[in-house]
């Protein structure tokens, strides 16, 4: 009786285990040593064909504790050419003798010359193919994607991991943007949104060290191709406008000295509304809560309520200027709708969608940017 009960209970468990293992593990399992573990993918345009460069983990070198390969790196670089990205990558297994594993890829870098053409065709592979992940970061190389992927500082961490980390922390700190592939392609597919992603460049080293890839400007795409780039201040403004900044610091000058303000919390709301004459109007409110981390003035003066209020005023003015400059450059000069105003108008006033879109295109819409900055903490010292 007991034996039958145990058998009854065990049978479903065994079946479930077999199915789980068979279902989520690989039925056609490939050993790790036979895998080309791709860390980053670069796509360049080379004589009308796509040159795809893979930065992959060198399984043998990665297994060594202190002795990487002859290049002093734990990664290897492979390049393949084809009429399409898929055709180029089809040769990867034959040339390397390893089965590529793209699901670990962290960054997709597009060469500058390719970005200036239509990026839709090469991106279709990443949109359709399930081997790659939709949440990898995308960037544009300031020259060749292959050069960016070739930059590997050596050591135990692959260059792609460092680049991913640089992009993510840079974005949080308001120094560069970090855009995931699904978001980028979503913007490209949209009729009204503007797609953007960071530009990565090689950081030259004077001390004979290996060059490393680092994020810098931001690239903006219109009609599927790179239209213009923007520098760090515009990028910082863009991050505030798109509510992407998490923690950044900036210094403002008050009457008594210089205040360094660290952003603790930000929130951006965009609201579509109508003018009195039924015209398109939008309000972009950016609120930032900051901590004063430094009050640089002579002879350690006390930080009182007056000074804190001055820091707040100066900070608000800085933020307002930052937003005005970024929005003026992006929308005023280039017509880039980074705040997704057209989509918000379509949601709020569906019947006026076409009229609002036209007003946005003609740049006659009433757009107000409001910055509000409040000081939350004043560091170790109490308010005097």
Partner 1 sequence: MTARGGISAFQFFCTVFVCRAIALFTFIITNKESFPPGDRAVLFAPLALVGTAAVIPVLLVLGKREDRTLFALTDRLHPAVSKGAALLYTAGAVWSAGVSLTRFDLFMSTVMFSGAKLLGLILLLAASAVPVALRGRETVARMSLPVLALLAASLVYVGVTVIGEFAPADLELPLRNGVLPLFRNARSAVARTGELAALLVFAPHIRGGVKKGVFLWWLSFGVTGSLLYTLTTGVLGAYGERQMFQLYALTVLSKLGAAERLDALICAIWVLCSLVRLAFHLIVAGMFLEGGFRVHRGAPLYCGLALPVLSVYFVLSRSVTVFARVIGSGINDLIFLLLLIAAPLSVLAAVKIKTHVQAKKGIL
Residue 16 engages partner 1 in binding (rule: CB under 8 A): yes
* Residue 350 engages partner 1 in binding (rule: CB under 8 A): yes
Phi, psi of 69 (to 5 degrees): -70, 180
* Shortest distance (Å) from residue 128 CB to partner 1: 8
Nearer to partner 1 (CB atom), residue 210 or residue 344: 344
Query: For partner 1, which is the closer residue by CB, 241 or 311?
Result: 241
- Which of the stretches 80-88, 213-221, 289-297, 342-350 binds partner 1 when contact is defined by CB under 8 A? 342-350
Q: Which stretch binds partner 1 (CB under 8 A): 67-75, 132-140, 149-157, 325-333?
A: 132-140
Q: How far is the CB of 246 from partner 1 (least distance, A)?
A: 11
Least distance (Å) from partner 1 to the CB of residue 371?
A: 21
Q: Tell me the closest approach of the beta carbon of residue 186 to partner 1, in angstroms.
A: 4
Using the minimum distance from each CB to partner 1, give the nearer residue, 77 or 178: 178
Q: How far is the CB of 19 from partner 1 (least distance, A)?
A: 5
| 78-86, 137-145, 288-296, 337-345 -> range binding partner 1 (CB under 8 A) | 337-345
Cα 33 to the chain's mean position, in Å?
Answer: 31
Question: In terms of CB distance, is 20 or 309 closer to partner 1?
Answer: 20
Beta carbon of residue 21, minimum distance to partner 1 (angstroms, whole number): 8
Would you say 91 and 82 are in contact if contact means Cβ atoms under 8 Å apart? yes
User: How far from chain centre, in Å, is Cα 152?
Assistant: 20
Which of 343, 360, 369, 375 is close enough to bind partner 1 by CB under 8 A?
343
Q: What residues numbered 19-38 form the site for partner 1, per CB under 8 A?
A: 19-20, 22-24, 26-28
Give first-to-last CA distance, the chain, whole Å. 81
* Beta-carbon count within 10 A of 321 CB: 13
Nearest approach, Cβ of 133 to partner 1 (angstroms)?
6
Q: Should residue 134 be labelled a site residue for partner 1 when binding is judged by CB under 8 A?
A: yes
**Can you name the residues that pair with 46 across neighbouring β-strands?**
49
Residue from 47, 67, 94, 130 binding partner 1 (CB under 8 A): 130
Of 55-63, 111-119, 126-134, 256-264, the segment contacting partner 1 by CB under 8 A is: 126-134
Q: Does 48 bind partner 1 (CB under 8 A)?
A: no
Q: How far is the CB of 208 from partner 1 (least distance, A)?
A: 34
Site string for partner 1, 224-263 (x = CB under 8 A): ----------------------------------------
Burial of 302 by CB count in 10 Å (0-12 exposed, 13-18 middle, 19+ buried)? Answer: exposed
Tell me which residues in 171-210 interact with partner 1 (CB under 8 A).
Answer: 182-183, 185-187, 189-190
Binding pattern for the stretch 139-178 against partner 1, x by CB under 8 A and - elsewhere: ----------------------------------------
3-state helix/strand/coil string of the chain: CHHHHHHHHHHHHHHHHHHHHHHHCCCCCCCHHHEEEEEEEEEEEECCEEEEEEEEECHHHHHCCCCCCCCCCCEEEEEEEECCHHHHHHHHHHHHCCEEEHHHCCEEEECHHHHHCCCHHHHHHHHHCCCCCCCCEEEEECCCHHHHHHCCCCCCCCHHHHHHHHHHHHHHCCCCCCEEHHHHHHHHHCCCCCEEEEEEEEECCCCCCCCEEEEEEEEEEECCEEEEEECHHHHHHHHHHCCCCCCCEEEEECCCCEEEEEEEEEEEEEEEEECCCCCEEEEEEEEEEEEEEEEECCCCCCCCHHHHHHHHHHHHHHHHHHHHHHHHHHHHHCCCCCCCHHHHHHHHCHHHHHHHHHHHHHCCCEEEEEEEEEEEECCCCCCC
**Which residue ranges make up the site for partner 1 (CB under 8 A)?**
8, 11-12, 15-16, 18-20, 22-24, 26-28, 103, 127, 129-131, 133-135, 182-183, 185-187, 189-190, 270, 340, 343-344, 346-347, 350
């Amino acid at each position: 009786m007991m034996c039958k009960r145990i058998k009854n209970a065990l049978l479903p468990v065994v079946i479930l285990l077999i199915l789980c293992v068979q279902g989520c593990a690989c039925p056609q399992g490939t050993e790790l040593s036979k895998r080309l573990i791709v860390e980053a993918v670069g796509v360049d345009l080379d004589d009308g064909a796509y040159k795809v460069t893979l930065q992959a983990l060198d399984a043998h070198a990665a297994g060594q504790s202190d002795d990487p390969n002859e290049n002093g790196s734990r990664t290897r670089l492979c390049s393949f050419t084809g009429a399409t990205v898929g055709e180029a990558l089809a040769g990867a297994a034959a040339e390397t003798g390893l089965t590529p594993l793209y699901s670990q890829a962290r960054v997709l870098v597009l060469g500058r010359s390719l970005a200036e053409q239509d990026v839709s065709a090469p991106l279709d592979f990443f949109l359709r193919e399930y081997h790659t992940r939709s949440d990898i970061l995308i960037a544009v190389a300031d020259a060749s994607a292959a050069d960016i992927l070739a930059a590997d500082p050596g050591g135990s961490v692959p260059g792609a991991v460092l680049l991913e980390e640089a992009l993510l922390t840079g974005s949080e700190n308001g120094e560069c943007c970090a855009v995931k592939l699904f978001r980028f392609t979503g913007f490209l597919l949209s009729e009204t949104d503007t797609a953007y992603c960071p530009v990565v460049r090689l950081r030259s080293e004077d001390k004979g060290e290996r060059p490393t890839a680092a994020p810098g400007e931001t690239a903006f795409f219109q009609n599927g191709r790179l239209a213009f780039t923007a520098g760090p201040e515009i990028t910082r403004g863009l991050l505030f406008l798109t509510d992407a900044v998490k923690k950044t610091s900036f210094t403002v000058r008050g009457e008594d000295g210089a205040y360094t303000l660290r952003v603790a919390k930000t929130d951006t709301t965009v609201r579509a509304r109508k003018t009195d004459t039924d015209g398109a109007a939008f309000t972009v409110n950016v609120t930032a809560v900051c901590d004063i981390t430094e009050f640089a003035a002579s002879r350690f003066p006390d930080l009182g309520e007056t000074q804190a209020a001055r820091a707040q005023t100066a900070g608000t003015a800085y933020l307002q200027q930052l937003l005005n400059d970024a929005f003026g450059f992006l929308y005023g000069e280039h017509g880039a709708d980074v705040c997704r105003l057209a989509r918000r108008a379509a949601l709020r006033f569906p019947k006026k969608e076409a009229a609002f879109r036209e007003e946005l295109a003609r740049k006659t819409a009433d757009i107000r940017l409001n910055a509000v900055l409040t000081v939350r903490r004043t560091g170790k010292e109490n308010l005097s």
